[in-house]
Structure 1
Amino acid sequence: MVTLIILLSNMSSCHYFPINTSNSLSLSPAAMKKLLNIYHAAIQPMEQAFKYNELRQHEVTGEPASYGEITSKPMVLFLGPWSVGKSSMINYLLGLHGTPQELYTGAEPTTSEYTVIMNGEKFRSIEGIVMAADSSRSFSPLEKFGQGFLERLVGIEMPHKLLERVTFVDTPGIIENRKQQERGYPYNEVCQWFIDRADLIFQVFDPTKLDVGGELEMLFRQMKGRESQIRLILNKADSLSTQNLMRVYGALFWSMAPLINVTEPPRVYVSSFWPQDYAADTSRELFMKEETSLLDDLNQVIENQMENKIAFIRQHGIRVRIHALLVDRYLQTYYDKLGWFNDPYEVFKDIVNDPDKHYIFKSILAKTNVSKFDLPNKEAYQDFFGVNPVSSFKQLSSHCSWTGGCLLEKLERAISYELPALLSSVGKGPGCEEKPKNRWRKQ
C-alpha cells in the first residue's frame, strides 16, 4: 500500500498517516488505454473538424483534452485570500514543515506565483516556460496566457508517496484592493483553466479575511457548476474561542450565500491545518474530527481517479457535440437565407448577431436531446465566427464516409454507450481496509 506521510516537525519521531493510494482495478492501464482510444477515435476528430479549441468562454472549456490531461493525476487546487494558510496547509499535508522543501510562508502576501507541486525522482524547481514547453505534461496549454504568466508559474518536483497519486496547486492570494490588470496576466482566465481541471478545490479562509470583493466574487462565478468539487476551509480556527468561532462560522456562510446559489452548500472544514498543537481552551475534539474528515475526502478523490477521468471525457464529448450541432445549425441557416442578390457577409453577420431571430438555439433544443442548461452563451459564437469564417466549415452531413461512418454517430455512440460501459466496468478493486490517519489516529 502507498501511504500519505505527514512528518510532524515538532515531534521527536515521525508518524505515518496513510491515505489509501494502493493500485486497484480502478487505475488499470487497460481502462486508461481504452479511454484514450475512445477519445482519439470519437471525440478528437469532431474537435478538429469544428475547431472546438477556438471557442472561448467560461461555460465551455475551449480546448481539446490532451493526452497529458487525460492521463494526469488528480489535481487539488488551493484558492483564497493572501495569508490564510494555503501554503502552510500544503506543507502540512506533505510533511514539509522544517524541511528544505518547505513552501515559504509568512504574514505578508508571500505567494505571487502559481506553484504546481508534483512527484519526481529528486527535489527540483522547474520554470514555467519549461513546463509549458514539455508536451508530455498537462500544462503545455498554459503557454497561451503569455510570457507574463509563465514567469509567475513554477513547478516543484519531489519524491513523495502522496504526490505519486495527486498534484497540488498553490495560487496567488486574492488581494481585493489591487486592480486585476496590475497582475500582468489574465488572472481570471488562468484561474478558470485550473478550475476546469481541478478534481478538488479548497477555498481557504481565516477568521480575519471573510470579506467578499470583486476578485473573489468572480472566482465563485467561474466555479459555477462545479460546486460538488468545492470545499470551504475555515483555517486558523484555534485562534478563536468556541463562542467567537460559532460567530465567524455563521459570518462565513452569510458571506458565501450570495455566491453559492445551490440547494446543498459545499462542505466546510473547520480546523488549523499545521503541525503545531492547538491553542488551549479551544474546540480540540472538533478540529481533530474535521482534519480526519478532510483526509477522507482527499482519499476519496484519489480512489475515484479513473471514474472521474471517464466522467470528465464524457462531459467534454457532450460539449463538443453541442458545439458541432450549433455550428451546423448556423451553417444551415446561412445557406437557407442566402439568395442570388444577398451579400453573403451581411447575411451571416445578421445570423450571428441575432441568433434568436433565426431560432438557432431553440431549434437545437427542439430537434436534439441537448439540455438548455448545457447550451453555451450566444456571445461566444460572435467571437468564434469573428476569427473563423463560415467558409472554413462543412456541415455535419458532409463528415461521413462509406468506410468510416459519420463523425456525429461515432461521437453519440461514445457518449451514450462506450463511455458509460467503460465506467461500469471500472471496479474499485479489493482496496485496503486501512483508513486515512492523522496525527491522532496512530498506526
Structure 2
Amino acid sequence: PAPRDRSHVEDRLRLAAAAGPSAETSAAMKKLLNIYHTAIKPLEQAFKYNELRQHEVTGRLIVCLSVANCADGEITSKPMVLFLGPWSVGKSSMINYLLGLHGTSQELYTGAEPTTSEYTVIMHGERSRTVEGIVMAADSSRSFSPLEKFGQGFLERLVGIEMPHKLLERVTFVDTPGIIENRKQQERGYPYSEVCQWFIDRADLIFLVFDPTKLDVGGELEMLFRQMKGRESQIRLILNKADTVSNQDLMRVYGALFWSMAPLINVTEPPRVYVSSFWPQDYAADTSRELFLKEEISLTEDLNQVIENQIENKIAFIRQHGIRVRIHALLVDRYIQTYNDKLGWFSDPHEVFQDIVNDPDKYYIFKSILAKTNVSKFDLPDKESYQDFFGVNPVSSFKQLSDHCSWTGGCLLDKIERAISHELPALLSSAAPTPPLPGTCEGPGCEEKPKNRWRRQ
C-alpha cells in the first residue's frame, strides 16, 4: 500500500529549514566550554571529584572525566533520544518513520521476532556507513569511549550507523535491545543494567515504547524504572500500534497501561502518553485517525522542543555540576581542616582521620558547611560516600582551598562561585530564545498549531 502523508513530521521537526547550530548557539557553546575549563574543571581535578563514588553525582561528565577531551565531547554532543521497551513493539519502525527511512537502503531491519540484539546509535555522517562498536569506543571525540569499561562482549553488540540526514544534524537516536522478561540478564553476555544506566544518564529524552499486546511488567522493566528515578520529566510513554485494536479496546488498553506503570512511577504528575501507530502505512479502517494524527504532531513538537532547548539544558546541567563540585571541595576542605586541628604531637594520624571519617557528625563536618556557606542540605552527598572516597585518596594528597590561590590567577573557589552565581546565569539568559510578540505567528502552519496541554507554557 501507498505510504501515508508524513508532511506534518517534516514541518514540526523543521527539516526543510537549514539544520545545524546557529551562530548564536555556537558562540554560547564556546563560552560554556571556556567557563567549564577555567572555573569548574580546575577545582574538579584538584579535589578528585570524579572519584566520589555515589550514584547521585554520576552524570554525563563524571563517568568520562578520566578520558582526555571527553568532557568537551559531552558538552558539545547533540541531544540524545533513547528508545526502550519490550521486543517487537515498534522501536526500530518508529525511528524509521521519524527519519523517513522506509523503503531506503538505510532502513533499520524490523520484524515480528526479536530483531534488535544490539545497541544501535543512529547519528549524522557525510555518507552512509556502519561503524563497529570497537571503533566508536576508540574515538574519544564521539563521547562513547567510557563504554570500553563494559568489556569486549558488549562492544561486539554496539554498532553505529552514520547517514546524511537533516534531523540527525540536530539529534542522535539510540535503539536498544528489547526487554525480555523470561531470561536472566547474565545470558546477554554483558551487564545489561549498567549499560542501560549509562545511556539513561546521557539521554535528553526517553521513549518507552509499548504495544497493546505487551503491557506486562517484569524484573527488567522494574529495574529500568528504578534507574530512571529522578528523570521522570524526560520519560514519554508510547502506546504504539494503536490502530491494531478497536476504539473500545484501545480505551481498555490505555487504562491497563497506566495500571501497570503506576507502581513504578512515583511522581505527582503522570508522564505524557502518546497513542498512535508510528509507521508509514495508513491507519486501519474504523480507528481514531484524527486522534492518531494529532498525537503524532504533539510528539514531534515535543521532540523539536528538546532539540531547540539543547544549549539551555547543557548550561543548566553544567551549573548543577558546578554546584556539586563546589560542595565537594568545601567538604574535603572541612575534613582537612578538622584533621589538622585534632592532630596532636603524640596521636596516630591514621586513627585521628579514621575517627573523623567514620563519625563526621561528632566533628560537625556537614553542619558547619550548612552554617557557613550557601549550601542546601538537600544537595549534600551521603556521608558514607566519603568513607570510600578517603579510602582510596589519602588526606595528604589534598591541599586546603586557601592554598589554591595565587596573585595572578585568583582563588579556585572564587572562580567557581562566580561562574555559578553570575557567568552561567548570564549565559543562560543570552542563549534563551526571544519570545514572539503577542498576536504574532512564526513558523510554517502556526495558525493551525494544536495546543499541547501537557507542555508548560
**Per-residue deviation, 1:238:** 1.5
The 5-angstrom pairing of residues 62-77 of structure 1 reads 62-63=62-63, 64=65, 66-77=71-82
Query: SS in structure 2 opposite 1:81?
Result: coil
Q: Over aligned residue pairs, what C-alpha RMSD do you find? A: 2.5
**1: distance between equivalents of 2:383 and 2:75?**
29
> Deviations along 1:218-267, whole A, 9 cap, x unmatched?
22222222222111111111222222222221222222222222221211
In the alignment, does 2:243 pair up with 1:243? Answer: no
CA contact (8 A) 1:25 1:427 kept: no
> Deviations along 1:104-160, whole A, 9 cap, x unmatched?
222222222211100101111111111111122222222233322222211110011
Structure 2 residues without counterparts, runs of 5 or longer = 447-457
CA contact (8 A) 1:80 1:205 kept: yes
Q: Which moved more, 1:215-224 or 1:199-208?
A: 215-224
**1: distance between equivalents of 2:259 and 2:33?**
44
> Deviations along 1:154-184, whole A, 9 cap, x unmatched?
1110011110111001112222233233333
CA contact (8 A) 2:84 2:178 kept: yes
Structure 1 153/376 Cα, relative in aligned 2: closer, same or farther at 3 Å? farther
Q: 2:34 aligns with which of 6, 20, 37?
A: 37
Q: 1:114 aligns with which of 110, 113, 119?
A: 119
Q: 2:100 aligns with which of 70, 91, 95?
A: 95
In the alignment, does 2:256 pair up with 1:259? Answer: no
Structure-1 residue corresponding to 2:51: 54
Structure-2 residue corresponding to 1:181: 186
**Per-residue deviation, 1:57:** 2.7
Q: Structure 2: which amino acid aligns with 1:59?
A: E
The 5-angstrom pairing of residues 137-216 of structure 1 reads 137-216=142-221
In the alignment, does 2:403 pair up with 1:390? Answer: no
> Deviations along 1:6-29, whole A, 9 cap, x unmatched?
xxx833999572313646758532
CA contact (8 A) 1:26 1:426 kept: no
When the two structures are aligned, how many residues end up with a matched partner?
428
**Per-residue deviation, 1:68:** 1.0
Q: 2:135 aligns with which of 125, 130, 133?
A: 130
The alignment-based identity, stated in percent, is 84
Q: 1:369 aligns with which of 368, 374, 379?
A: 374
**2: distance between equivalents of 1:230 and 1:169?**
15
**2: distance between equivalents of 1:73 and 1:373?**
30
Query: SS in structure 2 opposite 1:118?
Result: strand
Structure-2 residue corresponding to 1:278: 283
Q: Which moved more, 1:10-19 or 1:106-115?
A: 10-19
CA contact (8 A) 2:312 2:432 kept: no
Q: 2:409 aligns with which of 394, 404, 408?
A: 404
CA contact (8 A) 1:123 1:159 kept: yes
Tell which has more relative contact order, 1 or 2 (C-alpha 8 A, sep 6+). Answer: 1
CA contact (8 A) 2:3 2:281 kept: no
Structure-2 residue corresponding to 1:440: none
Structure-1 residue corresponding to 2:452: none
In the alignment, does 2:222 pair up with 1:217? Answer: yes
Question: With structure 2 as the length reference, what TM-score do the two structures score?
Answer: 0.87
**Per-residue deviation, 1:278:** 1.7
Structure 1 336/265 Cα, relative in aligned 2: closer, same or farther at 3 Å? farther
CA contact (8 A) 1:24 1:428 kept: no
Query: SS in structure 2 opposite 1:126?
Result: strand
> Deviations along 1:290-326, whole A, 9 cap, x unmatched?
1110000111111112111211211121222222222
Structure 1 353/186 Cα, relative in aligned 2: closer, same or farther at 3 Å? farther
**1: distance between equivalents of 2:302 and 2:85?**
19
Structure-2 residue corresponding to 1:439: none
Query: SS in structure 1 opposite 2:259?
Result: helix
In the alignment, does 2:339 pair up with 1:334? Answer: yes
Query: SS in structure 1 opposite 2:174?
Result: strand
Query: SS in structure 2 opposite 1:164?
Result: coil
Q: Structure 2: which amino acid aligns with 1:108?
A: E
**Per-residue deviation, 1:87:** 1.1
Structure 1 residues without counterparts, runs of 5 or longer = 1-8, 437-443
**2: distance between equivalents of 1:428 and 1:197?**
24
Structure 1 345/173 Cα, relative in aligned 2: closer, same or farther at 3 Å? farther
CA contact (8 A) 1:26 1:427 kept: no
CA contact (8 A) 2:3 2:282 kept: no
Structure-2 residue corresponding to 1:17: 10
Structure-1 residue corresponding to 2:89: 84
> Deviations along 1:191-241, whole A, 9 cap, x unmatched?
222222211111112222222223222222222222221111111112222
Query: SS in structure 2 opposite 1:108?
Result: coil
Query: SS in structure 2 opposite 1:232?
Result: strand
Q: Structure 1: which amino acid aligns with 2:403?
A: S
Query: SS in structure 1 opposite 2:55?
Result: coil
Query: SS in structure 2 opposite 1:84?
Result: coil
